Structure 1
Amino acid sequence: MLARGLAMGFDNRQIQTAVLADPESDEPVVCPTDPIELEAFREEFSGTSFWCGVLLGGCGGRLTTRRGNVRVSHFAHFPDPEALLPPCGRRSRGVASADHLYVRAATQAWLRSQGHTPRYRYVDRDDVPIGSLVEIELGGHTLRLHMDRTTAPDWDAVDTGDTILGPGVRIDQLTLVRRRYVNRVKFVSEGTKRVMVLGTELPHVGTDWDFDLADCTVTEDGRLITPVVARLQAEHPALAAASDPLSAPSSPAGETPAPSQRPPSKRVEIPVQIGALVRRISTAVREKETATIRQLRDEAELQTSRCEGQALEHLQGAIQHANEWLSHQDRIRRLLFDRVNEAVQHGYDFEVRALVPQVREILRHDVDPTQEESSVLNTADVLLQEMHRRAGRPQRPSPPVRQRTKPTRSEKEARRTALPQTRSLIGRLRVKGLPAGEEKQLIEDLVPLAKAADDLLSVAERHDVEEWVKKLADPTQWPPADEEAAAAAESEPNSSAVPAGTPARLVPVAAAVHGALKKAARERSTTSWKRLEDQLGSALPRLNESERVQVLIQVDRATAGDEPLLSSLLAAGDPHFAHQYYRRVVAALDLEAPDDDEDLRDVIEADVERVFSDWRFR
C-alpha cells in the first residue's frame, strides 16, 4: 500500500471543456475521455495552455489534463493552496457547457460566404447566465440562439431577425402554430470538437434534425432558411414573402404581401448529391466509423472537379474535416502499435494482454492492418499463447477483427472497483523484506484483482504483476513453512532497533492533525497544510519541514498495512506537500512511491478513493 493521488492536486470536478491560451479566450476545446486518445491530444496541444475560461462561467484558473483511471480523463484545476482564485462553479460540467463558444467557430466562415459580417455577443446578465444566450448581429438584424431553457425566448422582440432554440428549450404549441415553424440547433461531438447541427420543428410533427450548415442559408433580413423552411416557402408563397413568420397569417384575405428584398430564388443552391455526400461524411465522423470516413473522403476528392463556388467550398470543408479525423486516428493507431511492439520486445506479457484488445477495437472500425502491423499482432499472439501455456491453460483464439465487442457496463464497473484494491496490494508487494508467506498470500490475492483491473493499470504496474505471477508459479521461490517461521523469529527486531518516537510536544499536534484528516475523509474532501492551520488554530502551531514530516509519520504509523495513508489527502490537495514531504513520509513508513510524478499522481488518486470509501461509515 502506498501513496496514490495527484502531486498537482486531487480534483473531484470532472471538467470536459476548456479554452485555449488565456482565461478570456473564446476558443473552446474538449478533453478526450479515452486514455489513449488523451496521449495524442496532449501531443497535439503540447505548446498550448488550457484555462477555466470566464466565457464558460469558470473561475479563470489554469487547467491541466488528467488521465482517468478510476474516472474518465478530464481537465482539472491546477491546485490553489493559497485560495487566491474565486470558487469555481463548474463542477461536473460536460462537453455541452462550451457549446455557446462553438457557435462562432461553426458559423463565422459560413455567414461571411453569404455576404454577412457577423458580430458575436455572449449575453451575461443576472437574469441570463452566460452560455444560455448567444446573439449574432447581422447588419441591423440579430439572430438569437437560446442554448438552454434557463432563458425564455422573447417572441415579440422587434430587433430580432430570427430566434433559434436549443434542443431542450420549449415552445408552447400555440406559439408554434402561429409561427408555423421554429428552427433549432444542437451540437454533437467529433473528436475534440463540437459540430453544429440544425433542425426545424413543425406543429404536431416534431423536429426534423441533421441539417448541416451547407444545407442552409441566412437571408438579408436575418432569417435562417433550412430545407424544411424552403419547402414551406415553396408551398406557402405568403410565408416566403413575409419577413417574419408571425406576420404571414395576419395578412388580409386576398391581399398579396409585399415581396421580400431577397427572394428564395436567389439563394445559392448546392447540388443534392454533393450535400448528401457532405452529410454522410459528417455522420461517419460522428459515429467514429474510420473505414467509412476513408471511403467517403476518397469519393469526395473525386467529386471536387465537378463543383464550383459554394458547393466546392462545402465539399472541401468536409474533406478537410475528414482528414483531421483520420490524422487523429492514425496517430492513435500508430501509438498503440508502437506500444504493443515495445511491450513484445521487452517481454511485458501483462501489457501485451492489455493492449492487444485495444488494437483490435481500433481495427474493428478501420481498414485492415498493414503487413508490418500484422507482424506485430502475430508476434503478440505468440507471446500471449506462451503466457497461457505457462499458466497451464490454452489460449483462446483471437476473435476476428470485425467481431470484437466492447466491454459491458458491468465489466467496466468491475474494473473500476478492482483498481484501488489492486494498487494497494502492488504497493505492499513493492516493500522490500516481506516474509515469504505474507508475500505469497499477497500475490495470490493480487492475481484475480489485477485480471479484473486489466488495462486500467499502468505499464509499470502490469510489468510488476507479470513478474510476481512468474514468481508465484516457481516453487523454488517459497521455503517450507517451518523454515520461514524460524527465519522470521531470527529477524524479529528488538526495541532498540525501532526508530526514535515523535517528540513529546508534537504528540498532541499529531492527534489534532489525525482528527482533522479523519473529518476530511468522512466528508470526502482533500486538504492542504494551510487549510489545516486555519481549521485547527492554536492546536497546529507553525512547524518546520522536518516537524511536519514527523507529525504525519505519527499520524499514519498506526494505519493498518492494507489501508491507504490518511496523509494521502494532503498529498492530493497540496502539490508542494506531495513533492517535498510525502515521499519522505512514505519512505519513513517503509513503503515505496513511484519515481515518476505521473505515476505518483495516479497512485495517490487511487489511495484517496480508498480513504473516502474506508472512512465513509466510521
Structure 2
Amino acid sequence: MRGDRRQIQTAVLGSADSEEPLLLPLEAIELGAFRRRHQLDTFWCGLLLGGCGAQLTTKLYTDRVCHFAHHPGPDGQPHMCGRRARGISSADHLYVKSAAVAWFRDRGEEADIAFAQPDGAPVGSLVDITSRHRGLRVHLDQAVEPVWDDDGIEPVLGMSVPVDRDTLIRRWYVHRIRLDSEGTARRVQIGTEAFARPTEWFGLEECEVTERGLTTPAVQRIVASHSAPPPRWTPGRPKKVPTVNAQARALLSQLDDARSLGFVIAARRLCSEIAGLAEVDRETQGRIDAALETTKGWMEDQVELRRSLYAQLDQAVIAQDTQQVRKLFAHVNAKAAHDRTEDEDAIVSRAADHFADVSRATQERIAAKVAADRAAADAITRVANILKNLNRGDYRNLRDQVETLIRYAEVAGDRVTVHQGRQIEAWKQRAGLSSGEEPKEPLDDDGTQQLNHKKPLFRQVARRYWIKRSCPRCLVGNGKDCVIADGTGNGELRYVPHDERLQPILDQRKARLPRR
C-alpha cells in the first residue's frame, strides 16, 4: 500500500469547534463498518486540530490508505486548507484531555484542563492539567522547553521530547506519555524513566496524582531504593580510589562533552573543578592547561554568539517576522536562557508579547471565519426556502421577497449553486430589480432559466482509463495521480486529474462516433 501525502487521518465529530476526536481506519475492510457506525454523524476539520473548520468526508481506497478529505469547492477544484498536522497523532491533545477528564471523574475529583499556547506555541503542543493536588503540564512535542524548577507544575514528556542525564539524576525520575491506537481511538499510557533504568509503562488506572505529583508503581520502587539505609560494613578488599590523574582525565572528558553540546554553565563548573586539582603529573597538567585555554576562547565565542542571538531576536521582533522570531526564540531558550541581563529580559519579554499578539490575532481570525461560515450556512438555507416559496407562488409582495433573497444570496457567497444563481437572476428580472437583456435561454415552467448542464471532464472519464496515460501538464507517468503544477514544486497530489490528461481520451471517443 503506497503512502498518500494528502491524507487526513483525524477529525472531530459534530461541529468545527468540537473536542470529540475521531481516528479513521486505514484499511478499506474496516472503513465499511466505520461508515455504518457513524452514518448519522458529521466529520469536521476541527479548529482545535489547527484545521479550517470545514466539513470532511471519508475516502475509501483499496490501493492506498483510506483518509478524510474536504469536499471540493463549487468549481470542482480541491478545497485549500492550511492544516499542518494530519497524521494519526494530530488529535492526541484531545485524547489526552478526554482521558484525563474520565480519570478524575472516576475518582470523584475535578480538574481544569486547557490547551496552553505560551510564546505562540501551536495548539496541541501542551495540555495543562490543574487538580487540587498538583499541576501537570503535558509536552506532546518539543515546541516548548520543559521547566523543571516550578514546584507547582510537573512536566510530563511526550516520546519525542528529550531529557538530559543531569535532570534524570537530580530528579531521580521523570514521567513520559504515549498514545497507542485502539480501533478509532487512542489509549493513554504513562511511563516512568529513571537514570540507568528502562522506562516502565502503566495504564492510567494504575497512576495517582498526590501532593508529590504524578505517581506510578515504578515511582514507589525508585523512591524506596533512594531511601533505603546503606548496607552494613563487612570486611573485604579495600576499594580502589581513583588517582588525581584519573580524576583529571574524567573531568577533561566531561569538559569536551560540555563544549560540544554547548553547555556553558556545565563547562564553567568543570573548569573550576579542574583548576582546583593538585599534584597531577606533568603530562596531565599540560592537558589541563591546553583544555582551559581552549575553553576560555570557546567561552568568549559563546558570549559573542549570545549577543548576536539576542540582537537578531530583537530585530526579528521589530520587523514582525513571526517565523524568524519563533526560530530565534527557541535558540535563545536552548542556548542562552541562563544569567540574563535586564536588556536580554526585555528582548525576551517583547518576543513573548509578539507571540501573544499573533496568537490573539489568529484566534480572532478563526472566530471570524467560523462566524462567517455559520452565517453563510444559514443564508444558503434561507435562499433555498425563499426560492421554493417563490416557485410555488407563495408570496405577497414579490419585490420585497426578491430583495430579501438577494441579501441572503450575498451572505451565502460561493455556496449559491449555479442553478440557484440562474433562478435568482430570473426572479430579479421578474421583480424589476435587474436591467439589461432578457435571458437568452428559455425559461422553465416555474419561471427559471433552463441550464445546459455540462459535467467537468473528470466526471466524464473513469479513473481506469486516464490512469494508464501520462499527464502533459504535470509530467507524471502512467499509473500515478496528477500533482499540483503551480510552479512551487511541492509535488502535492491533486484531488482530480488535469484536463490536459483527460481531453485526448474524449477526443478519441468523439472521433470514433461517426464510424459507429
> Could you tell me the TM-score, scaled by structure 1's length?
0.38
Q: Which gives a bigger RCO, structure 1 or 2 (Cα 8 Å, sep 6+)?
A: 1
Structure that is richer in helix per residue: 1
Whichever of the two has the greater Rg, that structure is 2
